[in-house]
Amino acid sequence: MPLLVMKFGGTSVANLERIENAAKKVQKEVERGYDVIVIVSAMSGETNKLVGYVEGTSKLYDAREYDAVVASGENVTAGLMALRLQEMGVPARSWQGWQVPINTTSAHGSARFMSIPRDNLDAKFAEGFKVAVVAGFQGVSAEGRVTTLGRGGSDTTAVAFAAAFDAERCDIYTDVDGVYTTDPRVSDKARKMDKIAFEEMLELASLGAKVLQTRSVELAMRYNVRLRVLSSFEDTDEQSGTLVCGEEEIMESKVVSGIAFSREEAKITLFTIEDRPGVASAIFGPLADAGVNVDMIVQNISEKDYDEAHPGAVTDMTFSCPINQVERAKKALEDAQAAGKIKYDDLIIDTDVAKVSVVGIGMRSHTGVAAKMFSSLSAENVNIKVISTSEIKISVLIDRKYMELAVQALHDCFDLDKA
């Protein structure tokens, strides 16, 4: 039988009524002749509640017990979904991570997949079961302990199963009806795309788009798993939603496909650091050790013989990071200076910035995208603080108060409201 993977997020299974609605979508695919692996998240809000229980019990908690508690939310949903399908006459069985088994590393709270053997599920399908309902977000370590994959791990679970079982497609059901050119809450001209390339989706996800989890897109691109994003709350058919696929499936790409943004950014500048080999390593090594996710980096041109207090070459270094990592970054840099690893005159932190990015695989073969982007921002009097680029994206750091204006201007500039 052909096989589909269907994943339902927390809002899609938030209560018994929504679980029944999701089960009806699964039933339709079974009636079309598919065997189905359903990946479920915990009910909306349940994981936060369980995390609260853990933190309320133990501030310095054992990560193994944390995983044991928070993984239980998905177990409940899987059982309820299987029961609902059985009531509808669909042969279904629920599976927890250890029962499959979903073999992962032992990094509790942020485990990664090692393997997903097919034998147990294949045997059940051979017996006549049509649906395997698998608890997402979890697995089992080599030590036999329950592990969890981190936030958004159910998306990654779905893609991993689609790859392991050679699924025809992996459908991600959520509370939006597809991937848009930008957030419709920011621009009322945002347009749902029929198709988007893996690389574009990966850039958009990593730059702030919340539709898909970054790791799931990475995995889909590596194993060429066709993803479809669609709504749990609308009637759907095989043309619904947005297909995330290989570039070769897209006839002609627009130069820019989407605008991503992130409000939760900070800019940190180190003034008058030595300009010598190894100084960048001395700065970013401690930041990496502290778990700071550095993004955009700019180093100014050196000034020779700056003054008597700074003989030799000195420069300034600016970088961005998530706003919730600022204190960690500040401490890491101050500790590095106290230990004599780096020297700087001042450390300035700006937490009132946002990152706005244009993304599109068409940028590979078209010139002038940067000029058009910067001209559009200039026309709106939006000042650019930092710029970074890759082959298919350009990102700028700007004052946060101009973020929505910048997104709307760029959306209009690149005619993203037009198919």
Confidence of residue 208 (pLDDT cuts 50, 70, 90): confident
Task: Please determine, for residue 182, whether its predicted confidence score (pLDDT) is greater than 70.
Answer: yes
**Gap between the Cα atoms of 241 and 63, Å rounded:** 37
Mean pLDDT of all residues in 89-97:
97
372-390 residue pLDDT tens: 999 999 999 999 999 999 8
pLDDT at 308: 54
User: What's this model's pTM, rounded to 2 decimal places?
Assistant: 0.84
Number of Cβ within 10 Å of residue 59's Cβ equals: 7
How much is the mean pLDDT over the chain? 92
- Out of 248-257, 346-355, 404-413, least confident range: 248-257
The 3-state DSSP class for residue 310 equals strand
Q: What percent of the chain has pLDDT over 90?
A: 80
Tokens of 65: 């017990």
Confidence of residue 309 (pLDDT cuts 50, 70, 90): low
Q: In what order do the strands lie in the sheet with 346-359?
A: 297-299, 314-322, 258-274, 346-359, 393-399, 384-390
Tokens 């509640």 belong to 49
pLDDT band at 240 (very low <50, low <70, confident <90, very high): confident
Residue pair 319/295 in contact (Cβ under 8 Å)? The answer is yes
Asked if the model's pLDDT at residue 311 lies above 90, the reply is no
What share of the chain in percent tops pLDDT 70?
97
Q: Which band of pLDDT confidence, cut at 50, 70 and 90, is reported for residue 252?
A: low
Top pLDDT among 165 and 391 is at 165
Q: Are strands 92-95 and 346-359 parallel, antiparallel or unpaired?
A: unpaired
State residue 126's pLDDT score: 95
